[in-house]
Amino acid sequence: MAGKTALAATVAILSVFLDFAGGEDARAQERVTMPLTIDGEQVRLATIIYRPVGIGPFPVLIFHHGSSGGGRNPSTFSWAYDPQPLAHWFVERGYAVALPQRRGRGGSEGVYDEGFAADRSKGYTCEPERSLAGAEHALRDIDAVTTALLDQPFIDRTRFLVGGNSRGGILAVAWAGRHPDLPRGVVNFVGGWLGTFCTTASTVNQRLFAMGGAFHQPTLWLYGNHDPLYSIDHSRLNFERFQAAGGSGSFHVIEEPAAENGHLIDRLDTLWSGPVDAYLAGLGLPHGK
């Protein structure tokens, strides 16, 4: 977790950005840089923040991004993950939404090192040891940025959801298992670390999802029916492994239109609005409009 000095600097920097946000547009996007200490190194992580009108404190969703395709095109590492339909959906229900970009991604400093082959030009590896080490690298980023975000005055840390898409989804589940007393819930969109084109996908994905079993509050799993990376059968087995490790939750199959990619359901809010509203209601958190 980040030290007190880094957190104090983070608070000061965020306060400057938020003072200028104005708050007139509930969907306004704020881009901030957060100075953190991770693995003994000072780095600044780029973070996109949406929040409702007012000063809060607001319930918060901290939502984590996935991979960069196959990891073979470094130009994509600079792209910031900004799922606007999802962010707007939660803001309309009174939530602040924070979208941190991990080291080396989306304008963040540091080395992007989330399970690459020894020859980085080959992109992500299917090798379990390197893949799991890459996930641990990402989880340390989540440790640091979560500590800093929950310390912000506009956030109600007692009403905190963690979530993510693709690699971000599996990271959210695993991270909650390591910090079971922090989040109220977990929202997993199409989570997984290795696609099923890797013969080791089940080994790696189930290992990470099992970490989440120590989080005993209900979780929500949402998967597109025609996801090219994670079939429904594969993802159901991951969910069963999570349950066997002690986790609880519900698994939903989203029937996306034929023209849509089932791995990108985070942008199809009309399809998942019902299950997510019901999940939030069950947690006693704001829901509906």
Q: Which of 275, 67, 287 is nearest to 168 (CA)?
A: 67
pLDDT at 8: 39
Please answer whether residues 191 and 169 qualify as being in contact, where contact means their C-beta atoms are separated by less than 8 angstroms.
Answer: yes
pLDDT exceeds 80 at position 21: no
pLDDT at 9: 40
pLDDT exceeds 90 at position 12: no
Q: What is the pLDDT of residues 176-218, one digit of tens each?
A: 999 999 999 999 999 999 999 999 999 999 999 999 999 999 9
Instruction: Give the start-to-end residue ranges of the domains of the chain.
Output: 4-280
- What are 34's strand-pairing partners? 45
- What are 186's strand-pairing partners? 162, 219
Q: What is the pLDDT of residues 156-168, one digit of tens each?
A: 999 999 999 999 9
Please answer whether residues 204 and 136 qualify as being in contact, where contact means their C-beta atoms are separated by less than 8 angstroms.
Answer: no
pLDDT exceeds 80 at position 7: no
pLDDT at 19: 34
pLDDT exceeds 90 at position 130: yes
Return the higher-pLDDT residue of 11 and 269: 269
pLDDT exceeds 50 at position 13: no
Distance CA 239, CA 257 (A): 24
pLDDT band at 90 (very low <50, low <70, confident <90, very high): very high
122-126: long-range contacts (C-beta < 8 A, 24 or more apart)? 122/72, 123/69, 123/70, 123/71, 123/72, 124/67, 124/70, 124/71, 124/194, 126/194, 126/198, 126/199, 126/200, 126/201
pLDDT band at 1 (very low <50, low <70, confident <90, very high): very low
Per cent of the chain over pLDDT 90 is: 84
pLDDT at 24: 42
pTM score: 0.91
Distances (CA, A) of 217 to 158, 188, 244: 14, 14, 15
| Joined tokens for residue 211 | 């970490």
Fold adopted by 4-280: Rossmann fold (3.40.50)
Per cent of the chain over pLDDT 70 is: 90
Distance CA 132, CA 65 (A): 17
Please answer whether residues 127 and 90 qualify as being in contact, where contact means their C-beta atoms are separated by less than 8 angstroms.
Answer: no
Distance CA 288, CA 221 (A): 19
pLDDT at 23: 39
Q: Which amino acid is at 221?
A: W
Q: What is the pLDDT of residues 210-243, one digit of tens each?
A: 999 999 999 999 999 999 999 999 999 999 999 9
Distances (CA, A) of 54 to 57, 58, 129: 9, 9, 46
pLDDT at 28: 59
Instruction: Centre a 10 Å sphere on the Cβ of residue 203 and count the other Cβ atoms it contains.
Output: 14
pLDDT band at 17 (very low <50, low <70, confident <90, very high): very low
Q: Which amino acid is at 175?
A: W
pLDDT band at 289 (very low <50, low <70, confident <90, very high): low
Burial class (CB in 10 A: 0-12, 13-18, 19+), 271: middle
pLDDT exceeds 80 at position 46: yes
